[in-house]
Structure 1
Amino acid sequence: MSKGKNNGHINPGLYSHLRDFNADPRMLLLSVLALVIGASGAILAYFLLHLIYAATNLFYFQRLSWQFVSPAKNTLHWLALFVPIVGGLMIGVMARFGTDKIRGHGIPEALEAILMNGAKVDGKVAIYKPLSAAIAIGSGGPFGAEGPIIMTAGSVGSLFAQLFKLSDAERTTLLVAGAAAGMTGVFSTPLAAVLLAVELLLFEWRPRSLVPVAIAATTAGVLRRFLLGNGPLFPMPQIAPVIEPRTVVAALFLGIIAGIAALVLSRAVYASEDLFEERLPMHWMWWPAIGGLVVGIGGLIFPRALGTGYDVIASLIGGNTTWQLIAGVLIIKSIIWAFSLGSGTSGGILAPLLMIGGALGALIGFGLPAVETGAWPLIGMAAILSGAIGCPLTAAVLSMELTHNYALILPLLAASVAAHAFTVLFQKRSILTERLSRRGYHLSREYGVDPLETVTVAEVMRTDEDALSDSDAVFAYPGDTLRMVAERMASAHVTEMPVKDFSSGKAIAVIGLEDMLHARARSYIRETKQERVRRLPVLFARSRAKEAEADYESVS
């Protein structure tokens, strides 16, 4: 925290112009636009889900219907093997002759648009992505609808933003607003959607982006009640409000196991991708069909591995589990999901991870303290999702919103954080950001206060007569933060500027890039310098003489 000093005393008026948040009236404009995008996201979610249902009915039951039906109930017998292959061929053709942006599960593509393309998305994506996702999932692909809707609704948000005179950052806000609205429309989880935006998509926590995104998610949540119904997506028995300490400890253990599973799944997906890219001497257009072959075989062995698996998730957290169901999800679903996703087809990852996590929780739960029905599968869902995508808060809150079982907040948070802690220690990137790394981009997932924001000009400025005589068009005040100065220098293409007294307007000092490094140096010291601030009583401490001797030897 910066302090303005005048003859050794704090000058309270020096920094009175600085604000906690850099919000301006344009935030209100973005909020109004977010209302439209939020409504669009809910409508798009409705149509995407019913498009998937229609494709499922057409592929597996040869009928025209918008009603939900599980592909596991088909009566095609061995002919069902060819359905995912046909779907894969269609995806490959659409990707090659339509747009290759439909390949993948949606979230990395949204990240790439935000980071590398100025939040500008091709209009083709808004059309081809939902269509390809419906074909991929409707033909048995073991994916969820949330990834495609995040990309589809995000694309609509971007296209809508491109109609107005907005900055890159403002377009990003509206793209993410669309993504959050789409996720809310599918899952009815507005708070988790906002948290996902913060933890994964926005790369900031500022009112100028948080407020519009929250408005879009809220709008989508309100409309979803009329389009797809009210209540939790996966109802389960309510948990007692009192959670025993041993349950939280057990959740930590489950979280670590889930972190290991998440790491294995992430590496399996990209091992599959490496197989397709390095070992198959054919155009990538044919890869989804090969992935479809594996899906078809897996579907013959365990039909409930096909499709979104929402009914399977409901069974797991509803207590309707069998050893066959657990084994089928953990083995067959995991294999066909990792292999087909690596083939470059179109589909989401959240629902499959929830399904696999639920089965893992049900399995491990047999050896954990007894709690109400469905608790351990739900905790497993949150943990494996957190470990895989690196968003522990999103995972915990999403699990609560999906079931409306808020009494499980403590074990859900414990398991999610434990899984996250394990994966960040043992793998460089999440399943989402690894794809970006393979495309040549580096993405940091850590957010912190900019050191230049916490140090002011008054603390680092210096006297320089030559610089003071220079009549630069840009200048700084002693109460400005170094971040303000850095932005002015960058826009004016200068590396040094005079500092003027606020009252008189006269140049009193100068500040340059070298001076601004003091803030970075202070931040580095804060992160790396280790010291003992307090000491234990003399009874448990070494004598001062021995400590001084040890310090001398270490210096020598």
Structure 2
Amino acid sequence: MKHRKPALRTILFPLLLAVVIGGLAGLGAVFFRWLIEFGIDLFWPGSGGFISQYEQASVFWRFGIPVLAGLIIGPLLHFVAPEIRGPGVPEVMAALAQRDGIIRHRVTLAKSFATATLIASGCSVGREGPIVQIGSSIGSSLCQLFRLGPDNRKLAVACGAAAGIAATFQAPMAGTLFVVEILLFDLEVTSLSNIVIAAVTGTMVSRAFWYDGILFQAPQFVLGHPAELLIYLVLGLMAGLLSLLLMAMTFGLSRSLDRIHVPGWLSPALGGVVIGTLGLYYPQVLGVGYDTITGVLQGDFLFSTALVLLLAKLLATSSCIGSGMSGGIFAPSLFLGAMLGAMFGNFAHLIWPDTALLSSHFALVGMGAMVAGTTLAPITAILTIFELTYNYEIILPLMVACIPSIIVVRYLHGFSIYETKLLLKGIRIVRGHDANRLRTMKIRDYMSKDSTFLSQETSLTQLLDKILNSSFPHFMINDNTGNLIGILTLRDLRTFLNKPGPTDPSITAGDLMIRDIATVRENDNLEEAFHLFSNHHFSFLPVMSESNPHRAVGSLKKDDLLTAYNQHILKDHYHPPSALIGPIRDNK
């Protein structure tokens, strides 16, 4: 058979789109970072960097600015653009899973302004998650402008996210793997190449503006003895527990504010109160905290200093994110991991004083382990630290620490901090996209309406006759008013007939049926039915009327659900040959 080559434009257009989005996302990252620096100079007159400028201000000013920023940004988050509240990554995940990559145009500017204002005021949030949302918004807006389809739009969102992360850390590999591990993208080889191109383009744009844009002056890492890996393993386990504590504090505060009915526009100001108070005593925990991380990596922090800053940062970050501020969790995770690692380094040196163990080495590995624990993205965490150091020797300790960290979180909780936020909003995104597809499919379109209904007064003789003449292995039992009161399967009937002794002829269907049953409604989606089938040994589910929840209108069989899903996948991924490579002809 002779195959026609794909048109050149079908190859070049996605690549060109990736380059444009990567460039724009890189510029977005540059603009966002400039906006933060502009805000710092506006809020904190002086010189010498953020902490120095902060300490030059009066006590009243240091306390009031974070509160004022919360009061200014709160109404914007609540009334104008609620989707920019929080880290930003969960919103991108939801846009990919539920809206085919559609993100409102206002997100780019609103997210930039809100997060930059909060970071500049000293709030303990990161800039990486917002840059992901900004880059994704740029890609989505570009596709909406040119009326491109959902496949191109999803790819554009992924390209924008990868370029944003890559531009921030000047780490294209980390940006690419971030999309693959966290954004749950249906990845194909061609898609991966576009994402890589966007990440590289974003990195090159950022380097054009920040030629010396290394975030941290990391020390040269050396693994002195293989036995040190055991310490890194314990460090990873502790990072997993610390990740869980961060999530518990963050979402615990969020639920508490909802429980006492604090207005959404006011809650960021309450987080500002915590930040204003903490900053008076521990200014090192304010903002993204990269200067403090650099200090840990360049010198040995005392155990007590690292412990105090870890606890203060934990409170600061959970207060900011939990109160609904706009900002990421990536930078706070790096900070917490660095402090945890510094503590471990001091402890290890105390036990083995004759070894050349440095707390800065443990701080580097702790940063990766903490990121892995909060995001459940170990490869992204490993490559991020690797691209910050370009030291191959750190790879093995990172792997030894990151994997136990995610195991702890997976075993004790099961979800990343991004997934947890979505779960609290009623959005369940399962890695692998099964739930995403099932969520768009309504039960009413796939249920069987010719189900067999029996009255609860149906005698045993009539029941056996129905079984012989029915193709269904299950029956739904109604009461005298037509409401569903139970189900009866062949397995239940077989169990009854196999009992020794004579059969009572007065037995009816109502005596044999199961009353404790699980049901679904017509307008429910197949994801909800899928979880019921997964958690129980059901072969079918009664489907209840939307107008009358007591009356069954049909049944959904497990086999029908799986068939519907497979057909949906086939429809999405099958294209006639002429659409891609032209008609196939027999070359005879």
Q: CA RMSD in A?
A: 2.9
CA 1:398–1:26 in structure 2 vs 1: closer, same or farther (change >3 Å)?
same
The 3-state SS of whatever aligns with 2:197 is: helix
Matches of 2:145 and 2:210 in 1, distance apart? 30
- 1:409 partnered with 2:426: no
The 3-state SS of whatever aligns with 1:367 is: helix
Q: What one-letter code is carried by the residue in structure 1 that aligns with 2:169?
A: F
Matches of 2:69 and 2:571 in 1, distance apart? 54
Matches of 1:143 and 1:120 in 2, distance apart? 25
Match of 1:278 in 2: 259
Match of 2:360 in 1: 374
Tell me how far 1:435 sits from its aligned partner: 1.1
- 1:213 partnered with 2:195: yes
Tell me how far 1:28 sits from its aligned partner: 3.6
Match of 2:42 in 1: 58
Matches of 2:43 and 2:182 in 1, distance apart? 35
Matches of 1:157 and 1:325 in 2, distance apart? 43
In terms of mean alpha carbon deviation, does 108-117 or 437-446 score higher? 437-446
CA 1:491–1:53 in structure 2 vs 1: closer, same or farther (change >3 Å)?
closer
CA 1:27–1:432 in structure 2 vs 1: closer, same or farther (change >3 Å)?
farther
Matches of 1:215 and 1:503 in 2, distance apart? 35
Match of 2:280 in 1: 300
Question: Are the counterparts in 2 of residues 72 and 306 from structure 1 also a CA contact under 8 Å?
Answer: no
Alignment of 1:436-455 (within 5 A): 436-445=422-431
Matches of 2:167 and 2:305 in 1, distance apart? 28
Match of 1:551 in 2: none
Unaligned ranges ≥5, structure 2: 435-563, 575-583
Matches of 1:483 and 1:96 in 2, distance apart? 37
Matches of 2:585 and 2:371 in 1, distance apart? 56
CA 1:358–1:491 in structure 2 vs 1: closer, same or farther (change >3 Å)?
closer
Match of 1:539 in 2: none
Match of 2:409 in 1: 423
CA 1:233–1:404 in structure 2 vs 1: closer, same or farther (change >3 Å)?
farther
- 1:30 partnered with 2:30: no
Match of 1:327 in 2: 307
Tell me how far 1:131 sits from its aligned partner: 0.3
CA 1:384–1:488 in structure 2 vs 1: closer, same or farther (change >3 Å)?
closer
Question: Are the counterparts in 2 of residues 305 and 333 from structure 1 also a CA contact under 8 Å?
Answer: yes
CA 1:230–1:308 in structure 2 vs 1: closer, same or farther (change >3 Å)?
same
Alignment of 1:216-235 (within 5 A): 216-230=198-212, 232-235=214-217
Match of 1:108 in 2: 90
Unaligned ranges ≥5, structure 1: 1-12, 449-481, 493-501, 505-556
Matches of 1:105 and 1:487 in 2, distance apart? 31
Tell me how far 1:96 sits from its aligned partner: 3.2
Tell me how far 1:75 sits from its aligned partner: 2.5
The 3-state SS of whatever aligns with 1:237 is: coil
Matches of 1:391 and 1:252 in 2, distance apart? 17
Tell me how far 1:134 sits from its aligned partner: 0.8
2:234 aligned to 241, 244, 253, which one? 253
Tell me how far 1:283 sits from its aligned partner: 1.7
Q: What one-letter code is carried by the residue in structure 2 that aligns with 1:382?
A: G
Alignment of 1:475-494 (within 5 A): 487=569
Matches of 1:490 and 1:352 in 2, distance apart? 39
Question: Are the counterparts in 2 of residues 137 and 143 from structure 1 also a CA contact under 8 Å?
Answer: yes
Tell me how far 1:80 sits from its aligned partner: 1.0
Matches of 2:257 and 2:565 in 1, distance apart? 46
Match of 1:168 in 2: 150
2:72 aligned to 90, 115, 122, which one? 90
1:74 aligned to 56, 69, 94, which one? 56
2:167 aligned to 185, 203, 206, which one? 185
Matches of 2:63 and 2:277 in 1, distance apart? 6
Question: Are the counterparts in 2 of residues 232 and 403 from structure 1 also a CA contact under 8 Å?
Answer: no
In terms of mean alpha carbon deviation, does 246-255 or 32-41 score higher? 246-255
Show CA shifts across 1:184-236 (max 9, x none): 22111111111110001143331132111110110111122121124632122
TM-score where L is the length of structure 1: 0.74
1:390 aligned to 372, 376, 400, which one? 376
CA 1:72–1:244 in structure 2 vs 1: closer, same or farther (change >3 Å)?
farther
Match of 1:461 in 2: none
The 3-state SS of whatever aligns with 1:284 is: coil
Query: Whose Rg is larger?
Result: 2
Matches of 1:298 and 1:140 in 2, distance apart? 10
CA 1:26–1:329 in structure 2 vs 1: closer, same or farther (change >3 Å)?
farther
Tell me how far 1:328 sits from its aligned partner: 3.3
CA 1:121–1:321 in structure 2 vs 1: closer, same or farther (change >3 Å)?
same
Question: Are the counterparts in 1 of residues 184 and 433 from structure 2 also a CA contact under 8 Å?
Answer: no
Alignment of 1:341-380 (within 5 A): 341-368=321-348, 370-372=356-358, 374-380=360-366
The 3-state SS of whatever aligns with 1:150 is: helix
Matches of 1:96 and 1:261 in 2, distance apart? 30
Q: What one-letter code is carried by the residue in structure 2 that aligns with 1:310?
A: Y
Match of 1:507 in 2: none
CA 1:54–1:503 in structure 2 vs 1: closer, same or farther (change >3 Å)?
closer
Match of 2:29 in 1: 45
Show CA shifts across 1:97-150 (max 9, x none): 421122111111111111112111111111110000111111110112111111
Matches of 1:391 and 1:282 in 2, distance apart? 33
Matches of 1:139 and 1:378 in 2, distance apart? 27
Question: Are the counterparts in 2 of residues 233 and 403 from structure 1 also a CA contact under 8 Å?
Answer: no
Show CA shifts across 1:341-368 (max 9, x none): 1111111110111001100011012233
Matches of 1:247 and 1:24 in 2, distance apart? 54
Show CA shifts across 1:421-463 (max 9, x none): 1111111211111111112111112589xxxxxxxxxxxxxxx
Tell me how far 1:483 sits from its aligned partner: 9.8
Q: What one-letter code is carried by the residue in structure 2 that aligns with 1:152?
A: I
Match of 2:291 in 1: 311
Match of 1:197 in 2: 179
Tell me how far 1:490 sits from its aligned partner: 8.1
Question: Are the counterparts in 2 of residues 383 and 416 from structure 1 also a CA contact under 8 Å?
Answer: yes
CA 1:68–1:301 in structure 2 vs 1: closer, same or farther (change >3 Å)?
closer
Matches of 2:430 and 2:365 in 1, distance apart? 27
Matches of 1:96 and 1:195 in 2, distance apart? 32
Matches of 1:447 and 1:248 in 2, distance apart? 36
Question: Are the counterparts in 2 of residues 38 and 215 from structure 1 also a CA contact under 8 Å?
Answer: yes
Match of 2:469 in 1: none
Question: Are the counterparts in 2 of residues 142 and 336 from structure 1 also a CA contact under 8 Å?
Answer: yes
Alignment of 1:78-157 (within 5 A): 78-157=60-139
Tell me how far 1:324 sits from its aligned partner: 5.3
Match of 1:518 in 2: none
Match of 1:265 in 2: 246
Matches of 2:567 and 2:111 in 1, distance apart? 43
Runs of 4+ in 1 over 4 A off after TM superposition: 22-25, 482-492
The 3-state SS of whatever aligns with 1:162 is: helix
Question: Are the counterparts in 1 of residues 344 and 359 from structure 2 also a CA contact under 8 Å?
Answer: no
Question: Are the counterparts in 1 of residues 97 and 433 from structure 2 also a CA contact under 8 Å?
Answer: no
Match of 2:271 in 1: 291
The 3-state SS of whatever aligns with 1:123 is: coil
Q: What one-letter code is carried by the residue in structure 2 that aligns with 1:253?
A: V
